[in-house]
Amino acid sequence: KAGVTQTPRYLIKTRGQQVTLSCSPISGHRSVSWYQQTPGQGLQFLFEYFSETQRNKGNFPGRFSGRQFSNSRSEMNVSTLELGDSALYLCASSEGTGGSGNTIYFGEGSWLTVV
Q: Any contact of residue 105 with another protein (CB under 8 A)?
A: yes
Pick the stretch among 20-28, 63-71, 75-83, 100-108 that binds another protein (CB under 8 A): 100-108
What are the CA-CA distances from residue 1 to residues 4, 16, 25, 29, 77 (Å)?
10, 38, 11, 12, 27
Of the candidates 85, 109, 112, 114, which one interacts with another protein according to CB under 8 A?
A: 109
- In whole angstroms, the minimum distance from the beta carbon of 101 to another protein comes to 8
What are the CA-CA distances from residue 94 to residues 13, 29, 51 (Å)?
30, 5, 12
Give the residues lining the site for another protein (CB under 8 A).
31, 33, 35, 42-43, 45, 48, 50, 55-56, 58, 88, 90, 92, 94, 96-99, 101-109, 111
